[in-house]
Copies of this chain bind each other. A is one copy, B any other.
Amino acid sequence: MTQKNGPVEKVIPDIVIHRLPVYLRALDLMARQGKRITSSQELGERLGISSAQIRKDLSHFGEFGKQGTGYDVEYLRDQLRRILKVDRVWPMAVVGAGDLGHALANYKGFANRGFQVVAVFDADPAKIGQRIGGLVIESMDVLTERIAELGIRIGIIAVPAEAAQDVANRLIEGGVRAILNYAPITLSVPEGVRVEYIDPVLALQSMTYYLEPNEVETVVGS
């Protein structure tokens, strides 16, 4: 039942889609630095990805460079924005107005990258009505209807693990189809809803594997 109607599209591997934002970020930076032309070699060196991989990833979407002359930085950046659908602004809801919710609501990095936080929710009556940046914290009780009203399709979960599934359910009921989950649990969601996880511990644990045990000092405490 995941079949789409409409013209047959080749399915592009999810891992390729996940690399495109990395390319886009590098191209954004190059453009800001005034660089006009780049190559898969140069991109690859900056990102630690092979140039062959970059060429193969991009080839799924068309022909963006000319043999021998490389890529036009702004053109490739704009094409990637279009492909990733961030050539517009997606309104987002943040749920949870703790330290992390504050950090997200005030995050400068969303601007010009396709996203804007337009609503913040919390369950704590003491927080409801307070302001984060330009936004008034709203009650969890109105979350579902507000999401629907504002046409929000993207929700960010910044609540404790035990509350995260309930928040996800309410977001989805309101019309959210993409969730960025900071709570350290795997969410159950219906088909058609995407979830990405941000858990600093997963990233840290994949680095400690490589740290030499004899480098460990047990100076813990303050």
Contact = CB atoms under 8 A, between A and B. Distances in A.
Interface stretch (A34-42, A50-58, A64-72, A151-159): A151-159
A165 B152 CA distance: 35
Nearest to A19: B206
A20 B209 contact: yes
A55 B213 CA distance: 26
Contacts of A154: 204, 207-208, 211
Contacts of A83: 209
A211 B177 CA distance: 7
A63 interface: no
A156 to B, nearest CB: 7
Contacts of A90: 204, 208, 211, 216
A118 B206 CA distance: 20
Contacts of A136: 222
A204 to B, nearest CB: 6
B196 A113 contact: no
Contact of A114 (B135, B186, B205, B213): B205
Chain multiplicity (copies):
2
Contacts of A3: none
Interface stretch (A24-32, A121-129, A166-174): A24-32
A217 B46 CA distance: 36
Given A84-B209, A204-B115, A208-B84, A216 B153 contact: yes
B103 A98 contact: yes
A209 B20 CA distance: 10
Given A113-B201, A116-B220, A85 B211 contact: yes
A198 interface: yes
Nearest to A188: B46
Contacts of A22: 202
Given A100-B103, A156-B200, A204-B178, A151 B219 contact: yes
Given A198-B198, A218-B88, A113 B153 contact: no
What are the 10 closest A-B residue pairs judged by CB atoms, nearest first? A151-B217, A99-B103, A21-B205, A196-B203, A178-B207, A100-B103, A21-B202, A85-B208, A99-B102, A18-B206
